[in-house]
Chains A and B, each alone.
Chain A
Amino acid sequence: MNDTAQRRIRVLLAKPGLDGHDQGAKVVVRAMMDAGFEVIYTGLRQTPEQVSRIALDEDVDVIALSSMAGSHLPFCRKLKPLLEANGLADKLWMIGGNLPAQDHDALRELGFKGIFPTGAKLDAIAAYIRESIRESIRENAA
């Protein structure tokens, strides 16, 4: 885990399901790049299997989804066991987009700690990632 401290934070940003709204996802990609992270953007129409496989192959620290068309809960329910099976339970799972407040608890229970609904600030997303990764390094070192 020591290399995480040295290397740049690697973020996977995925567009789950069939939703074609990618304006926000691409804006976040640019913001994360400007924040100094390495960003892998999947493009549209990713299945849970694809997201989980890319996260593993790319050895990312952060697995982030951008969902605008309402299917976030069914998607995350399918994604969770796949990420766990790939040994990615210790990575930072995040989700942003059109996420009604009443779904936030369910998303958190599924393991998505970082929830950034419409209106979230770009700098707040970057700060959250930086802080969470720093914390996980500290925990692992302890």
Chain B
Amino acid sequence: MNDRAQPTLKRVINESGLEVQPLYTAADVAASGGDAMIGLPGEYPFTRGIHREMYRKQPWTMRQYAGFGNPQDTNQRFKYLIANGQTGLNVAFDLPTQIGLDSDDPQAEGEIGRVGMSVDTLRDFEIAFDGIDLDKITVSMTINGAAAIAIAMYLAMAEKRGYDLNQLRGTAQNDILKEFIGRGTWIFPVQPSIRLVGDTIEYCATHAPKYSPVSVCGYHIRESGATPAEEMAYAFCIARAYADEVIARGLHVDEFAGRLSYNFNIFGNLFEQVCKFRAGRSLWAKIMKDEYKAEKPGSMWLRMIAAGGGGGLTFEQPELNIVRGAYYALISALSGTQTMALCSYDEAYTIPTEYSARISLRTMQILIAEMGLTETVDPLGGSYYVETMTNQMRQKMEEIIAETDAQGGIVKLVSEGAIQAKVSAQAYKMQRDIESGKFPKVGVNCYRNEHEDEHPVEFHTYNEDDARVQIASLNKVRAERDAERVARTLAAVGNAARTGANAMPAIVEAVKAYASVGEITKELVNVYGRYQEPIRF
């Protein structure tokens, strides 16, 4: 090779569409917008973290997604995870519960307790959280279409056990707009769905002021095919839609914004993800301060769970998912998340076993105990590469938000199925790139083992008997409850929805009367109707 024949480096473009250079210097940081936006952790614009001391004061919360079978089964899994050092719970509900069907609904057949725990009435919440100290362990609930009912059940259960709702913490996912893009547990049409989210935010602001009624999810939008920059930009657009709904009712942004939280995804390029979170933190602070005129710092904080996502895991060579999970946890810690969770290595097959859930938990614990990830705040801050890419990612997200607004806004685009079509086209391209080997995936399109079909994975088995037990339990509650009170409180739910009043107080009363998820949902469907999915390619 002679001197003139410099090897030509292949251009590298990350998933968000930004070119990655082989070397970064201070000049790149300056050219990308300088370090004016960086500041200190705990100070606006919070690029480096929402708190000054971050994990030095308290490590991230470890909150594995768990739930299956009956509330009794789930209660045992919760206690197992807590006994193994988990510091928060994230409840998985079965699909009938998530879309507002009782366990004895014909459509629920074959689905009861399969991907999460089944819930019909308040009784099931009482069983699921029995013996768990709700002051010590915060509970997050992954439920969206039927979230208002689940929040009502959680608050009613806590109140019954003597907890002060003014102090009670916890989170509901309750992000319906992203359900229309991906995940699909919608019930009502778009507008009344947003209205119901507004009802929960407004209700919690006065009745349970420390409870987080919404966790806006970029996570599932990313799983559906969005780039990391789109994941965060669309999540911000969705959060603005909920904020607008509540502000239109007369609330001041500082009355509720401090309880909004986020749920984001981690897979793919390490630096792109870290910069996504750092950029997102400063962009959300800017949106809240400049656009919404928030004054409290808490209103500007991007509080988040950053979770190792299923989208990065593979069916092939499943043990490699343990390694991927460890990298995702590292990314999450380097990104200054508040809460961490990991998809377990067997989740390309089914819901995790106790064994695989414990490996995920231990993965996070190793970072705290052995790797020094909690000792220094924002350890990548000041890296030429990370600061440059953070600035570029923020700019990219701002462009996507501006483009979304210019096209009529996220609510319109989701209603028309436009976002769905866009991310699905990207998912198709990615799948083609993986199959052609253009986008490398270890164990899938490179470094494959022989006899790839033999997977000695031991996985969670579904207990067919759970459905029978759950239906019997529902029938028992129905026989024991005060039928007149149920009828009266259910009528009040329909009435609140019809008159446009906040439906939450009526839902809480119905829940306390042991009205079921399916019964309350029917009242709302009678007024709101059902969502019709736009099919668009």
Contact = CB atoms under 8 A, between A and B. Distances in A.
A23 to B, nearest CB: 5
Contacts of A27: 424, 427-428, 431
A23 B412 CA distance: 21
Interface in B109-145: 109-111, 114-115
B114 A69 contact: yes
B95 A69 contact: yes
B425 A30 contact: yes
Contacts of A90: none
B96 A18 contact: yes
A21 interface: yes
B114 A23 contact: no
Given A18-B96, A70-B350, A26 B435 contact: no
Contact of A31 (B107, B114, B182, B428): B428
B537 A33 contact: yes
A74 B109 contact: yes
Given A19-B95, A70-B462, A100-B349, A119 B316 contact: yes
12 contacts: A18-B107, A21-B183, A21-B184, A26-B424, A41-B537, A70-B462, A73-B110, A98-B348, A98-B350, A101-B455, A122-B435, A123-B435
Interface residues of B, number: 40
Contact of A22 (B184, B316, B435, B453): B184
Interface of A: 17-23, 26-27, 29-31, 33, 41, 43-45, 47, 69-71, 73-75, 98, 100-101, 117-119, 121-123
Contacts, number: 88
B327 interface: no
Nearest to B533: A43
A75 B95 CA distance: 14
Contacts of A19: 95, 184
Interface string B5-31: 000000000000000000000000000
B111 A17 contact: yes
B529 to A, nearest CB: 15
B110 A98 contact: no
A99 to B, nearest CB: 10
Given A98-B348, A122-B435, 15 more contacts: A18-B111, A20-B95, A22-B182, A23-B424, A23-B427, A27-B428, A30-B425, A30-B428, A30-B537, A45-B99, A69-B95, A70-B350, A73-B110, A98-B349, A118-B348
Contacts of B427: 23, 26-27
Nearest to B179: A20
A16 to B, nearest CB: 10
A70 B184 CA distance: 16
A75 B110 contact: yes
A71 B110 contact: yes
B114 A26 contact: no
Contacts of A73: 110
B213 interface: no
B175 interface: no
Contacts of B425: 30
Contacts of A17: 95, 110-111
B185 A20 contact: yes
Given A20-B179, A23-B424, A27-B431, A47 B185 contact: no
